[in-house]
């Protein structure tokens, strides 16, 4: 599978995924998120590993050699027939029951065959997931027709690897579950105040001095490549976040002069505030870092942060005050923040990347580049924010109601499920500017010991909201048995497929 | 180690544990729960596996051959020197640094030696835990003196294996962490409405028909023996709960005639209520079951439940109403419940076991056998309940404020930590009747996938409250760094010691 073609073109193609699947599935209850259309007949057939194979359709644009689909076939075969693959380690290709993939614009369904049609490899990949979920361990299958496509193109999940370090296996396991739930963007909040685990090739001191440990608690270049490739094979994009000018305490350790020295009266206090936006060296550093980020992370998006900047330190610093005066910002430090963010958003655009920023940047500064994506994280009144941002013509991501690191007792997935991302006052055009949303698992109280049980199946609620038809999925009580079944399938999947050699 | 001697005698001896330890420990921060007295000097020595051994004192009543201590020495040695034991698999016994155990009434401390003195094997066992926690991975040790004993004799943890089945390894892992936190009673809420996983030798149909699965989701006799032995080696008692007359839906599947048939008008509705307290067969069954329980579970306590009995079904049943009339209970079904509970409490006493029951039994029926232990589970006004129960002369266990299956965001261990079990209106004699408490992890939303991260380190808060001096441990902020360190040690312990072949 080639990764060529412009990024924005690929993004649009993702929205057009339309997979038509006619396959015998045993239990509709296990399909999550709910497909757009699903019809099941009472016809039954049985399934055996000797009589089952995956084949590319004769007219399919994708054929053997398409690494993403070849790998997916192998992966899913071993879920359907775990004992068989354990025993023989072989795929038996015969033609009794064939799951045929046609990546083209034609459809053919014939008896004894299951045909999946998709306009893209990624759609085919998600189609395999839908079909095979329900085949797990069940050797009886019912004839079923599925038409499916996602409601939103951007279905993200944020992991925070700065507040607690997450070992590689925890990230890979998360990516597996994301693919299973049809989440397609891994928002890697890789660095923040507490630690800088990203091992930069340009600035190795950032992790040498800013990580919790310079050898064991870092992501090397090859770790990052592994994450990106693991994600790509599962149809998941990796969007890194290098959040500035706030949330950068750990950056300062390995990059002297980057952060603003705070003052107590007329002398430096010894502590540091946000990135210093008044000196040239800051912008030179950020440009070098962003160039590296562009090189390492192939995705078209990069998240630039811009949230929660405290102004107290800037205000205490005489050089910053002088700069404010020179620029005519008066006492309004939001103008200084905007000045900084505008500079790095322009840098990012020059690197041919699309910026995502937290809502603060919009709240402080309405004239931001039009193609910048805004992400809403503040819980209160997010509907108003959706209205305002889309009215200004910006594409928007909704995350505020999906901060699922905030746990509570019982079935709190229902809160996530009740979210209606397009239920705000605005025109149809405005509604279309909501390109999706993100589940966030911030790391204050999360590390490898509790990540999975906090994330899953709770993240599935948002995954379904972002994929499925809202009208058909409003009732959480109806969804519950499906979710229960899906959770068990996820556990089986982890058990049979996830063997990471780390 | 012999298990002979009367059970109640052993219980009393547990209260008298007084361990005097003079050992060089590196970091006081890692000791949890906080010892009663702890003095650390600046003197330092270093530690190597070749120069370290455990030895029984010359005058010690316990000597090589005491299975509990021999096994503990081996276990803890492999935590202190994980690489060493991995490489050689041997304990090197030489005399440079000796941790000497004196299970007797004498004390001797000499240079270069660490001496632990305890009046019982169990005290010595907990002493080893205290001392060695802080030695983990640190080859420098400071001279430290510890005097320690528990505040309460009964420091329990409840696991619920009925709402979700917990595989054996999850229970054993919990027992390890309990020992590490000095919790000493595993309250095994083994059966309940949803499933009956206990495989009874007398009534095999109870699990054949009442377990989630008759082969995979049960505890066989050898599983139970393994749990009890694993617990014993760590100084933990196993108190099983066979909760009746309510919470018994799963019992009915394998024991027809046991539950009360509910009526709709004048005909049976097909559903069943609590155990039928009006027929002789019920009491014969309960007596046989309790005889088996006495045989299988050696502990002196058995928990008989008695909580949350719904009266609607009893009320609907004409035979029950007739029985009520005959007994002169009027319309007061609490009298019927009391009648039933009194019968099985007497049965239990005749088997030479001490009953524990939930507070409902006391609330309905104040004249219960004096040596019955009452357990408080209702959250509201537990202080009033403590007053009333102890005024009536009963021994009491407090669990209500420690239902830690109820999770919330952030550091909710602080709520558990703030509990003051003896802060109620009553005389000193009444206060002494509080024999301890229990952390409860009910299973509605808990199975093997999330048990450990929900339990630990949250359960440690109650563990310290039940062990340590309240005056010295009121400030949660001061405790926090110690708890953080303890959590890491617990994770190391699990990593290096917990290899269960299952």
pLDDT in tens, A99-143: 555 554 333 334 455 667 777 888 878 877 776 655 443 445 556
Chain A CA closest to residue B487 = A449
Centroid of chain to Cα B149: 17
Total CB pairs under 8 A between chain A and B: 32
Q: Which chain B residues are closer than 8 Å to A450 by Cβ?
A: 450, 453
Q: Does B445 contact chain A (CB < 8 Å)?
A: yes
Distance between CA atoms of A307 and A403, rounded to whole angstroms?
A: 15
Cβ pair A131, A146 in contact under 8 A: yes
Q: Does B432 contact chain A (CB < 8 Å)?
A: no
What's the pLDDT band for A232 if we cut at 50, 70, 90? very high
Backbone dihedral angles phi then psi of residue A90, each to the nearest 5 degrees: -125, 150
The residue behind tokens 């001279």 is B143
- The C-alpha angle B224, B228, B234, rounded to 5 degrees, equals 150
Read off the pLDDT of residues A387-439 as tens digits, 9 standing for 90 and up.
Answer: 999 999 999 999 999 999 999 999 999 999 999 999 999 999 999 999 999 99
* Cross-chain residue pair B452–A449, CB shorter than 8 Å: yes
Distance between CA atoms of A148 and A69, rounded to whole angstroms?
A: 18
Q: Does B491 contact chain A (CB < 8 Å)?
A: yes
Q: Does B58 contact chain A (CB < 8 Å)?
A: no
pLDDT of residue B31: 80
Sort strands B185-189 and B97-103 into parallel, antiparallel or unpaired: unpaired
Which of A407, A445, A491 is closest, CB to CB, to B449?
Answer: A491
* Cross-chain residue pair A405–B409, CB shorter than 8 Å: yes
Within 13 Å of residue B453, how many CA atoms lie on the same side as its CB?
A: 14
Q: Which chain A residues are closer than 8 Å to B411 by Cβ?
A: 445
3-class state of residue B146 by DSSP: strand
Instruction: Supply the pTM of this predicted model.
Output: 0.87
Read off the pLDDT of residues A425-456 as tens digits, 9 standing for 90 and up.
Answer: 999 999 999 999 999 999 999 999 999 999 99
Residues of B (281-320) whose Cβ lies below 8 Å from A: none
pLDDT of residue A98: 47
What's the pLDDT band for A229 if we cut at 50, 70, 90? very high
Q: Comparing C-alpha atoms, which of A359, A380, A378 is closest to residue A306? A: A359
Chain B CA closest to residue A443 = B410
DSSP state of B443: S
Cβ pair B207, B197 in contact under 8 A: yes
How high is the mean pLDDT of chain A? 84
Annotated catalytic residue A292: no
pLDDT of residue A120: 82
Chain A CA closest to residue B488 = A449
pLDDT of residue B107: 34
Q: Which chain B residues are closer than 8 Å to A406 by Cβ?
A: 409
Question: Each residue's pLDDT tens digit in chain B (502 positions)?
Answer: 333 334 444 333 332 333 334 333 334 556 888 888 877 666 655 556 666 667 787 777 788 888 888 888 888 777 777 665 433 333 333 334 445 555 543 333 344 556 677 778 888 788 777 766 554 434 455 566 778 889 999 999 999 999 999 999 999 999 999 999 999 999 999 999 999 999 999 999 999 999 999 999 999 999 999 999 999 999 999 999 999 999 999 999 999 999 999 999 999 999 999 999 999 999 999 999 999 999 999 999 999 999 999 999 999 999 999 999 999 999 999 999 999 999 999 999 999 999 999 999 999 876 789 999 999 999 889 999 999 999 999 999 999 999 999 999 999 999 999 999 999 999 999 999 999 999 999 999 999 999 999 999 999 999 999 999 999 999 999 999 999 988 988 888 887 655 554 3
**Residue A411, min C-alpha distance to chain B (Å):** 8
Q: Which chain A residues are closer than 8 Å to B490 by Cβ?
A: none
**Residue B464, min C-alpha distance to chain A (Å):** 21
Which of B409, B411, B449 is closest, CB to CB, to A407?
Answer: B409
Residues of A (165-194) whose Cβ lies below 8 Å from B: none
Catalytic-role residue among A29, A229, A308, A325: A308
Read off the pLDDT of residues A262-273 as tens digits, 9 standing for 90 and up.
Answer: 999 999 999 999
Print burial letters for B51-86: b (CB count within 10 Å at least 16), e (below 16).
Answer: ebbbbbbeebebeeebebbbebbebbbbbbbbebbe
Name B39's Cβ contacts closer than 8 Å, sequence gap at least 6.
B144, B145, B146
Cβ pair A277, A245 in contact under 8 A: yes
- The C-alpha angle B248, B250, B255, rounded to 5 degrees, equals 90
Read off the pLDDT of residues A181-223 as tens digits, 9 standing for 90 and up.
Answer: 999 999 999 999 999 999 999 999 999 999 999 999 999 999 9
Q: Does B448 contact chain A (CB < 8 Å)?
A: no
Chain A CA closest to residue B404 = A409
Catalytic-role residue among B308, B325, B366, B429: B308
Q: B441 pairs with which residues across the strands?
A: B159
Q: Which chain B residues are closer than 8 Å to A410 by Cβ?
A: 444-445
* Cross-chain residue pair B449–A406, CB shorter than 8 Å: no
Chain B CA closest to residue A487 = B449
Where does B104-218 show beta strands of DSSP type E?
Answer: 113-118, 140-148, 154-160, 185-189
pLDDT of residue B78: 73
Q: Which of A170, A441, A453 is the best substitution to test chain B (most B C-beta atoms within 10 A)?
A: A453
Residues of B (451-490) whose Cβ lies below 8 Å from A: 452-454
User: Percent of chain A at pLDDT above 90?
Assistant: 65
Q: Cα separations (Å) of A140 from A131, A135, A188, A501? A: 13, 8, 40, 34
- Helix boundaries (H) for A181-317: 205-210, 221-233, 249-254, 280-296, 312-316
Name B421's Cβ contacts closer than 8 Å, sequence gap at least 6.
B152, B386, B398, B434, B436, B437, B465, B466
Q: Does B408 contact chain A (CB < 8 Å)?
A: yes
Name B189's Cβ contacts closer than 8 Å, sequence gap at least 6.
B158, B159, B160, B161, B162, B241, B243, B303, B442
**Residue B452, min C-alpha distance to chain A (Å):** 8
Q: Does A450 contact chain B (CB < 8 Å)?
A: yes
Cβ pair A355, A299 in contact under 8 A: no
User: Of B257 and A97, which is predicted with more confidence?
Assistant: B257
Q: Which chain B residues are closer than 8 Å to A483 by Cβ?
A: none
Q: Cα separations (Å) of A119 from A50, A60, B298? A: 30, 10, 67
Cβ pair A49, A97 in contact under 8 A: no
Chain B CA closest to residue A454 = B450
Element (H, E) at B305: strand B301-305
**Residue A453, min C-alpha distance to chain B (Å):** 5
Q: Comparing C-alpha atoms, which of A178, A86, A72, A92 is closest to residue A132? A: A72
Q: Does A491 contact chain B (CB < 8 Å)?
A: yes
pLDDT of residue B253: 98
DSSP state of B217: S
pLDDT of residue A82: 65
């Amino acid at each position: 599978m080639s990764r060529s073609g412009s990024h924005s073109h690929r993004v649009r193609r993702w929205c057009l995924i339309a997979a038509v699947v006619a396959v015998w599935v045993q239990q509709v209850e296990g399909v999550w998120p709910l497909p757009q259309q699903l019809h099941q007949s009472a016809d039954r057939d049985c399934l055996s590993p000797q009589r089952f194979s995956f084949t590319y359709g004769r007219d399919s644009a994708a054929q053997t050699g398409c690494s993403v689909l070849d790998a997916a076939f192998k992966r899913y075969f071993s879920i359907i027939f775990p004992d068989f693959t354990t025993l023989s380690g072989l795929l038996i290709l015969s033609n009794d029951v064939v799951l045929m993939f046609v990546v083209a614009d034609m459809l053919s369904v014939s008896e004894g065959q299951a045909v999946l049609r998709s306009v893209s490899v990624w759609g085919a990949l998600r189609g395999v997931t839908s079909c095979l979920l329900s085949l797990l361990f069940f050797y009886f299958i019912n004839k079923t027709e599925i038409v499916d496509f996602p409601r939103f193109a951007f279905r993200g999940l944020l992991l925070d690897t700065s507040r607690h370090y997450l070992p590689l296996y925890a990230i890979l396991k998360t990516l597996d579950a994301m693919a299973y739930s049809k989440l397609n963007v891994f928002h890697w909040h890789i660095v923040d105040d507490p630690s800088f685990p990203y091992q930069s090739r340009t600035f190795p001191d950032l992790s040498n001095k800013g990580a919790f440990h310079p050898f064991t608690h870092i992501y090397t270049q090859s770790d990052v490549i592994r994450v990106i490739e693991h994600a790509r094979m599962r149809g998941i994009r990796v969007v890194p976040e290098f959040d500035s000018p706030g949330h950068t305490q750990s950056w300062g350790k390995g990059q002297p002069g980057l952060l603003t020295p705070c003052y107590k009266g007329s002398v430096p206090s010894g502590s540091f505030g946000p990135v210093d936006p008044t000196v040239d060296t800051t912008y030179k550093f950020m440009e070098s870092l962003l160039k590296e980020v562009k090189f390492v992370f192939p995705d078209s998006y990069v998240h630039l942060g811009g949230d929660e900047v405290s102004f107290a330190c800037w205000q205490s610093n005489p050089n910053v005050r002088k700069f404010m005066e020179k620029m005519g910002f008066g006492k309004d430090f939001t103008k200084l923040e905007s000045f900084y963010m505008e500079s790095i958003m322009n840098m990012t655009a020059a690197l041919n990347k699309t910026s995502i920023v937290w809502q603060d940047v919009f709240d402080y500064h309405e004239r931001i580049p039009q193609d910048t994506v805004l992400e809403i994280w503040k819980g209160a009144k997010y509907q108003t924010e959706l209205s305002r941002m889309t009215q200004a013509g910006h594409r928007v991501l909704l995350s505020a109601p999906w901060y699922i690191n905030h746990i509570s007792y019982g079935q709190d997935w229902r809160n996530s499920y009740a979210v209606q991302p397009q239920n705000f006052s605005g025109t149809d055009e405005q509604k279309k500017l909501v390109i999706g949303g993100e589940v966030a698992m911030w790391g204050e109280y999360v590390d490898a010991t509790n990540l999975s049980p906090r994330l899953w199946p709770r993240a599935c609620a948002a995954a379904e909201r972002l994929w499925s038809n809202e009208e058909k999925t409003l009732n959480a009580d109806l969804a519950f048995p499906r979710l229960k079944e899906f959770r068990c399938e996820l556990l089986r999947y982890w058990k049979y497929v996830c063997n990471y050699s780390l």
